[in-house]
Amino acid sequence: MNSSRVRVIDSHTCGEPTRTVIAGGPDLGNGPLAERLIAFAKNHDAFRNGVVNEPRGSDVLVGALLQEPCDPSCVTGVIFFNNVGNLLMCGHGTIGVVSTLAHLGRIYPGLHRIETPVGVVTAELREDGRITIENVPSYRSTRGVAIEVPGFGPVTGDVAWGGNWFFLAGNHGFPLVQSEIPNLTRFTLAIRRALASQFITGDNGGEIDHVELFADSPTPGIDSRNFVLCPGGAYDRSPCGTGTSAKLACLYADGKLKPAEIWRQESIIGSVFEASFRIHEGAVIPRITGRAFINAESDLIFNVADPFCMGIPS
């Protein structure tokens, strides 16, 4: 046998793609998801590369590897990965996974629990296809961090957790429009390098691998537009579930948004998440509503005779 197959379902959530591996993935055992994530990163990086990167994928694709959950009240466990490594949590990806499970007839409208390496998230699948996820507790760890960004000058932003670590800045001087995407990408990459060189991290040294810029939206009824740089250098086509969660935590900390108030977050391509939060034991629990569409069901073929069987090495 010189080839193997990996069964995937592709979807996009507000424009941001998710490739869910439903069969043919590596065996990571049945320990806690955080341990399985470490095993995946250590032993199966070629698989990650082969599934999401060229020639089968692209920089923007996020992979979701379904796992048997430890907690039997969860419908599935999931490990998210991208073009350069793994994601601890992924909001648009969770919405994509829920749509995929519904497409497969494994779940129906109602409430579902999903295990991730950073905790259990819940998802409500509605009759109209919209999905609301309730994310992990989110919080701002540092307010008003001033950094010097080489080539661009000083920038001030907050550091916050929404399932991943974010640097969030509103006062940056760039218009958030699609024609500016190459410049926004250069700018946010420079911010990320500056954060690393100035040893600015999330709590416990957590790497700030996402940068999120905000501006007003030109669309009536929308509270804000964002541009989100993802760890591998691509920008999020969706408003970013974990990034919107981090934003809610900052708004709450600043007294600008109350529990249950709606925040409409628009992405740089104009897609929208409707967000709100509740407070549980003092923590912000974000709720993010969006919609995903299935756009492919396929078998990835891994042929050992193919020199780029496991993706193009970077």
- The footprint of ligand PYC on residues 6-35 (CB under 6 A) is 16
Q: Is 238 an interacting residue with respect to ligand PYC (CB under 6 A)?
A: yes
Contact 283, 9 (CB under 8 A): no
Q: Which is nearer to ligand PYC, 81 or 252 (CB)?
A: 81
Q: Which of these ranges, 118-126, 141-149, 182-190, 234-242, lies near ligand PYC under the rule CB under 6 A?
A: 234-242
Q: Are 151 and 191 in contact (CB under 8 A)?
A: no
Q: Can you state the percent helix, strand and coil of the chain, rounding each to 5?
A: 20, 40, 40
* Contact mark string toward ligand PYC, 43..82, x via CB under 6 A: -------------------x--------------------
The encoded tokens of residue 65 equal: 């590897």
Q: Determine if 123 is a binding residue for ligand PYC (CB under 6 A).
A: no
Size of the site for ligand PYC (CB under 6 A): 12
Region binding ligand PYC by CB under 6 A among candidate stretches 90-98, 143-151, 213-221, 249-257: 90-98
C-alpha to C-alpha distance for 301 and 4, rounded to whole angstroms = 6
Decide: 72 and 60 in contact? Cβ < 8 Å: no
Contacts of 48 (CB under 8 A, 6+ apart): 40, 63, 81, 85, 86
265 binds ligand PYC (CB under 6 A): no
Among residues 134, 209, 212, 236, which is the contact residue for ligand PYC, using CB under 6 A? 236
Point out the residues that are catalytic: 90, 240
Q: Residue 40: what are its φ and ψ, rounded to 5°? A: -65, -45
Number of neighbouring beta carbons within 10 Å of residue 127: 8
Q: Indicate which single residue of 57, 96, 157, 241 sits in contact with ligand PYC (rule: CB under 6 A).
A: 241
Place of tokens 């970013």: 240
Which residues of this chain interact with ligand PYC, rule CB under 6 A? 16, 62, 87, 90-92, 230, 236, 238, 240-242
